[in-house]
Structure 1
Amino acid sequence: MLERILIRSQPVPSDPPKRRGATTLDTEPGRLRLLGAILSAVPWGQVVIGAGIVMLAALVPWGTGQVLGAMDRQVMAIDITGELVGESRVALERAAGQWVGRSFFATDLSDVKDRLEQRPWVESAAVKRVWPDRLAIEIREKKPLAYWSDGRLVSRSGEVFAPPNPEVAGRLPLLSGPDERVMDVIRMARTMSDTLTENGLGFAGLSLEQRGAWTLTLANGIEVVLGRDQVTERFDRFVTVYQERLVSRANEVKRVDARYSNGVAVKWKAEAAPSGKNT
């Protein structure tokens, strides 16, 4: 006979229902940790310093402008210095006077310099501010080397210029030639002048014609025609002949033509007794 055995079993509870949004709740701490790691990795000291530098850089121009604005004054005087021969100090001060009364800081010094350097005698002008209300200008004049064609002057640097008062340059040699060949004339004149000085002769001038012929003038008034070709050789031959045959009668010689291959032709002054064409 079978016995009925009743076994009461406890009901097995079913899985609890999943809550919506569980994933969000699980990852929130991870995000916070990531954010904290990022923030901790930032060099906050450098960030603060960098931000301060940026702010300071932005404030400096503004502050500088405010300071200069408060310190700015009008230009009250202009001082002119420099060794002047051709220029007049009064004229320079009058020319620079247009900047008197202008802003000390806003005055464009390069404009002052450019305006003054347009004057014929001015080689360069150095301009600077002198606190609190002056401009100091140092003028360097062109140094004339010789008189040039049409009453102009040529400087030692080879610049031909036309001041209104070229005569103040004093006694100088007379050079002439095409303007574009001024440096050729200067080089030839320097070479000849040195040689003449070594031989006790003075240099007074040198002319280069458009077609290329050279004529030398000595300090004693003698003209030496050298022509276009073999100019150096002809000049050396003249010096030799002059020292050997003409030096004792130099005051009788008017012109010497050195365009001969074996000597020179001498033109005597009217009152001098001729001694033949060729020497």
Structure 2
Amino acid sequence: MLETLLIRSRAVPSEPSRRRGATSLEPERDRFGVLKAVLAAVPWLQVGMGAVVVMLAALVPWGTGKVLGAMDQQFMAVDVNGQFLGDSRVAIERAAGNWIGKSYFSTDLSEIKTSLEQRPWVESAAVRRVWPDRLVVDVREKKPLAYWTDGRLVSRTGELFAPANPEVAGRLPRLAGPDERVRDVIRMAQSMSEQLQGHGLNFAGLTLEQRGAWTLHLASGIEVVLGRDQVEQRFERFITVYETRLASRSDEVSRVDARYTNGVAVQWKAAETAAGPNS
């Protein structure tokens, strides 16, 4: 009897000891089991989840179409901003209108910028996209400083340009000289103009001849020959002589030659009239 009991006790193994801190997988099985039980108990949940899956599947081609449509978006309008003197807003809008119908994303904006900056009056152009279909152009025009040789204009930055309508710049000084010396002429003109204003004289123009001789032109019509050497000293000498001797008779002076060492030579308008055209 004792032997039989012992055999039976060995046939029923005891529950293995569980290591402290070990995790059982049984609760996970229980959670999935609960979810399956809920779905089985409530059939409309299965229908709802199926509908969600179908909707997500339908949104994929719709979203893809939207992305592709955006990639193929086109420019439909152009806005031009800026202050214009020589060019016109309408003309620039017309020029930029060549990109109407072009791709919003793939169009190279630097190409538009380069094209617009080739216009004579345009100093710089900034081009940007505005969603969903607009092209915005900010234009800065060249500011004319003076008329240059052959009717061209020189900008305040020293750039020579030849627009078809230079006369719109209005009354400006007239500068002349070799193109490669344009900045030298501008610097000399600005220096002389500032000094003349301090003595009540108005600057009208400055000419630099190919051989290097300078000639100053005043608004009163007086021409001042300064030559090639010691130009600043000769200019100051003219100012001194003008204030002490010529200011009261400025309307009679035609030409002043300041190339002399100790003085100037004055040509009077009356002398020119008396000499006549054939002298």
- Please confirm whether the aligned pair reaches a TM-score higher than 0.5, indicating the same fold: yes
1:190 aligns with 2:190: yes
- Does the Cα contact within 8 Å between 1:74 and 1:100 map onto a contact in 2? yes
**In 2 relative to 1, CA 68–181 (structure 1 residues): closer, same or farther, beyond 3 Å?**
farther
Matches within 5 A, 1:202-217: 202-217=202-217
Q: Tell me if structure 2 keeps the 8 A contact 1:252–1:272.
A: no
- Alpha-carbon distance in 1 for matches of 2:68, 2:270: 80
**Matches of 1:237 and 1:66, distance apart in 2:** 81
Tell me the CA shift for residue 167 of structure 1: 0.4
1:114-158 alpha-carbon deviations (Å, 9 max, x no partner): 000000000000000011100000100001110000000001111
Contact kept, 8 Å, 1:152 with 1:166, in 2: the verdict is yes
Q: How many residues align?
A: 211
Following TM superposition, by how much is the alpha carbon of 1:271 offset from its aligned partner in structure 2, in angstroms?
A: 6.3
Question: Under a length normalisation based on structure 2, what TM-score does the superposition of the two structures give?
Answer: 0.73
Cα distance in 2 for residues equivalent to 1:172 and 1:273: 29
Q: Which amino acid aligns with 1:101?
A: G
Paired AA for residue 134 in structure 1: R
CA distance in 1, matches of 2:207, 2:65: 63
Instruction: Give the match for residue 179 of structure 1.
Output: 179
What amino acid does structure 1 have at the position aligned with 2:168?
Answer: V
Shift of the 271–210 alpha-carbon distance from structure 1 to 2, 3 Å rule, reads closer
Paired residue type of 1:179: D
1:74 to partner: Cα distance:
1.3
Q: Which runs of 5+ in 2 are unaligned?
A: 1-63, 275-279
Q: Distance in 1 between matches of 2:146 and 2:191?
A: 15
> TM-score, normalization: structure 1?
0.73
Structure 1 residue 91 displacement after superposition: 1.1
SS at match of 1:270: helix
In structure 2, the CA distance between the partners of 1:66 and 1:108, relative to structure 1 (3 Å rule), is farther
Mapped to 2, the partners of 1:252 and 1:82 lie a distance apart of 46
TM-fit CA distance, 1:67:
6.4
Q: In 1, Cα distance between the equivalents of 2:155 and 2:135?
A: 28
Cα distance in 1, alignment partners of residues 238 and 178 from structure 2: 25
Provide the residue aligned with 2:200 in structure 1. Answer: 200
Residue 159 of structure 1 aligns with an amino acid whose one-letter code is E
- The structure richer in helix per residue is 2
Q: Provide the residue aligned with 2:156 in structure 1.
A: 156
Q: Is the 8 A contact 1:151 1:166 kept in 2?
A: yes
How much is the aligned-residue C-alpha RMSD, in angstroms? 1.8
Check the 8 A contact 1:127/1:138 in 2, yes or no.
Answer: yes
Deviation at 1:73, TM superposition (A): 1.6
Question: 2:33 maps to what in 1?
Answer: none
Query: Structure 1: which 5+ residue stretches go unaligned?
Result: 1-64, 275-279
